[in-house]
Copies of this chain bind each other. A is one copy, B any other.
Amino acid sequence: MSETRTYVIIGGVAGGMSAATRLRRLDERARIIVVERGEHVSFANCGLPYHVGGVIDDRDALILQTPAALGERFALDVRVRTEAIAIDPDARTVMVRDLASGGEESIPYDALVLSPGASPVRIPIPGVERGLVLRDLADMDAIIAAAKGATRAVVAGAGFIGLELAENLHHRGLDVTIVEMLPQVLRPFDVEMAELVAQRIREAGVTLRLETSLVAIGDKHVVVGEGEQIPADLVVLSVGVRPESGLARDAGLALDERGYIVVDDYQRTSDPHIWAVGDAVVKQRVDGPATPVWLAGLANRHGRLAADAIAGRPHAAVPALGTAIIGLFGLTAAAVGRTERELRDEGRAIRVIHTHPLDHAGYYPGATQLAMKLIVDEQTDRILGAQAVGESGADKRIDVIATAMAGGLTASALADLELAYAPQFASAKDPVNMLGYIADNLAGGEQSVQWHELRARQADGWILVDVRTDEENAAGAIPGSRLIPLDELREHAEGLRGKRVIVHCKVGQRGHTAARLLEQYGVTVANLDGGYLTWSAGAAATGLPTKGHAA
């Protein structure tokens, strides 16, 4: 590239600025212009909720780069408070407006990168203008200003950002209510896993109202459902985002039915001189149809890939898994891939595994229990998704599984992973290995039953046997179960010959040993996956009766 090329980038944060810096490293001579409508570039969107709660004390810590510093180091022409208002793909120009002066300029480009992100949805309800949203520093400042002197806050939407905000408003001392239309928090999790997060939120003293829609925002209250009022000095809307694809649409670029920009594997849009990345773009997924994925890692990664493609070093993106995580009131919840809910809706044949392992060896102090879930393709044993919730170590396990998915490992092959073990970090059989063991057993023909399938099986005449101890059973049991502690099961096995039996324990592990035993006595047997703990979470989430006594 000997002639001087001009690259224009719209949006100066995660995707945009990653493209700009990489372009500079690949092309020292190019003219690189970054236009950003807001006050700041390169800020830490993901940190915004934590400054609201004072966890991140220093506001400036959220501003990772300034236009001046980027100018000095990367010779970037960074223009803040400058909006791109029109693209002429034929002329290859973009019209930008200086928001301070109102002055406009048409900038010719050789390549254009769009990373305009997505903006919070404002639902069409009375008083919506009183609702705050959180996307940038100005929004954050507005929430903090509103929180001063306020005592009661309502957060609408129990997605990642809504929950982070609820936690941080609670940290500030506000009385917080979350209202969520759906019957669960955090859609990337299945209901029985999300329930663990919901319980933690409630234990922390935040009110969580599921299956509750916000219908109006008043001056000092909100109205939900059939007209109930909830007092609120401060209302935040966090009910989803909409792609900022207006410019792209007007320029005639291909969008999907939801308005997200369509790109090829090299981040190129339907126009050969325009690339797009980040939250405004629809992404290919590993299993299933293309979807948006609003995550900073992908925005950064794709920004670099767009730069590579523009500079003549094309490198294809891999389909997205959508690995996501939240830390909330001391709990971590992480997920990757697809949910059981989605896959069952699609009619996919899947195997599901729940476990409740300790994050590290139980004999070493401080071990805490995780709840884990693995979703596996029944035909191929491929991993389709995983979820983990716990005090510690959930991030590690989901990262490991995400990597296994990227490497195309089967679920059974998780048993062979050599994960670093010393007692303060893991167990000799890491929780991920254990998922592999269980997957291997299922692949070998062992039967399990999900918590939501149990009632139908019982109705169909299967006997439910609780193999836990007397004490465990007395503390809470599944309706209709019969108690035979595992260590006495051999004596009762002959009596069950020929019958159909579901065994269950607390987490599934003793159930497995029980199932192996009974099978060899000619019993048709299935193990209740995840045991009493998973069943209880599912029951609590869906309103099944959770107490009962063994016959």
**A-to-B contact residues, CB < 8 Å:** 14, 25-29, 44, 46-47, 50, 55-57, 61-62, 64, 72-75, 160, 295-301, 304, 313, 315, 317-318, 320-327, 332, 334, 336, 361-365, 395-396, 398-400, 402-404, 406-409, 413, 415-426, 428-430, 433, 437, 440, 444, 486-487, 490, 512-513, 516-517, 520-521
Given known A25-B513, A28-B521, contact A433–B403 (CB-CB < 8 A): no
Q: What's the Cα separation between A395 and B397 when bound, in Å?
A: 11
Q: Are B332 and A425 in contact (CB under 8 A)?
A: yes
Counting from the closest, the 4 A-B pairs by CB-CB distance are A407-B407, A325-B420, A28-B520, A296-B428
- Among B14, B64, B425, the residue within 8 A (CB) of A327 is B425
Q: What's the Cα separation between A246 and B433 when bound, in Å?
A: 32
Interface-centre pick from A26, A57, A320, A325 (highest chain B CB count, 10 A): A325
**In the assembly, how many copies of this chain are there?**
2
Which residues of the other chain, B, contact A296 by a CB distance below 8 angstroms?
421, 428
Which residues of the other chain, B, contact A28 by a CB distance below 8 angstroms?
516-517, 520-521
CB distance from A72 to the nearest CB of B (A): 5
Q: What's the Cα separation between A158 and B444 when bound, in Å?
A: 44
Q: Are A324 and B407 in contact (CB under 8 A)?
A: no
Q: Are B400 and A327 in contact (CB under 8 A)?
A: no
Which residues of the other chain, B, contact A62 by a CB distance below 8 angstroms?
363
Q: What's the Cα separation between A430 and B298 when bound, in Å?
A: 11
Q: What's the Cα separation between A242 and B32 when bound, in Å?
A: 63
- Among B26, B298, B403, the residue within 8 A (CB) of A404 is B403
Q: Are B295 and A486 in contact (CB under 8 A)?
A: no
CB pairs A–B below 8 angstroms (10 shown):
A29-B520, A50-B364, A73-B486, A297-B418, A297-B428, A299-B428, A304-B437, A318-B413, A323-B421, A406-B413
Which residues of the other chain, B, contact A426 by a CB distance below 8 angstroms?
395
Which residues of the other chain, B, contact A364 by a CB distance below 8 angstroms?
47, 50, 55-56
Q: Are A325 and B421 in contact (CB under 8 A)?
A: yes
Q: Are A64 and B396 in contact (CB under 8 A)?
A: no
Q: Are B425 and A56 in contact (CB under 8 A)?
A: no
CB distance from A9 to the nearest CB of B (A): 17
- Among B25, B75, B298, B407, the residue within 8 A (CB) of A409 is B407
Which residues of the other chain, B, contact A425 by a CB distance below 8 angstroms?
325, 327, 332, 395
Q: What's the Cα separation between A403 and B46 when bound, in Å?
A: 27
CB distance from A393 to the nearest CB of B (A): 9
Q: Are A428 and B327 in contact (CB under 8 A)?
A: no
CB distance from A334 to the nearest CB of B (A): 5
Which residues of the other chain, B, contact A57 by a CB distance below 8 angstroms?
365
Q: Are A433 and B297 in contact (CB under 8 A)?
A: yes
Given known A56-B365, A428-B14, A487-B72, contact A399–B402 (CB-CB < 8 A): no
- Among B26, B47, B323, B409, the residue within 8 A (CB) of A420 is B323
Which residues of the other chain, B, contact A400 by a CB distance below 8 angstroms?
399-400, 403
Which residues of the other chain, B, contact A160 by a CB distance below 8 angstroms?
422
CB nearest neighbor in B for A60: B363
CB distance from A474 to the nearest CB of B (A): 21
Which residues of the other chain, B, contact A332 by a CB distance below 8 angstroms?
425
Using A301-B429, A325-B421 as known contacts, list a sample of 8 further A-B pairs with CB atoms less than 8 Å apart, ordered by residue number in A: A295-B418, A297-B421, A297-B429, A317-B416, A320-B418, A325-B422, A399-B420, A403-B407
Which residues of the other chain, B, contact A418 by a CB distance below 8 angstroms?
295, 297-298, 320-323, 336, 402, 406
CB nearest neighbor in B for A512: B25
Q: Are A433 and B301 in contact (CB under 8 A)?
A: yes
Q: What's the Cα separation between A315 and B444 when bound, in Å?
A: 12
Which residues of the other chain, B, contact A325 by a CB distance below 8 angstroms?
420-422, 425
Which residues of the other chain, B, contact A323 by a CB distance below 8 angstroms?
418-421
Q: Are B327 and A420 in contact (CB under 8 A)?
A: no
Interface-centre pick from A419, A430, A444 (highest chain B CB count, 10 A): A419
Q: Are B326 and A422 in contact (CB under 8 A)?
A: yes
Q: What's the Cα separation between A135 and B123 when bound, in Å?
A: 66
Which residues of the other chain, B, contact A320 by a CB distance below 8 angstroms?
418
Q: What's the Cα separation between A29 and B493 when bound, in Å?
A: 13
Which residues of the other chain, B, contact A300 by a CB distance below 8 angstroms?
428-429
Given known A26-B516, A28-B517, A487-B72, contact A334–B420 (CB-CB < 8 A): yes
Which residues of the other chain, B, contact A64 by a CB distance below 8 angstroms?
363
Q: Are A297 and B327 in contact (CB under 8 A)?
A: no
Which residues of the other chain, B, contact A416 by a CB distance below 8 angstroms?
301, 317-318, 406
Q: What's the Cα separation between A400 and B423 when bound, in Å?
A: 18
Q: Are B404 and A46 in contact (CB under 8 A)?
A: no
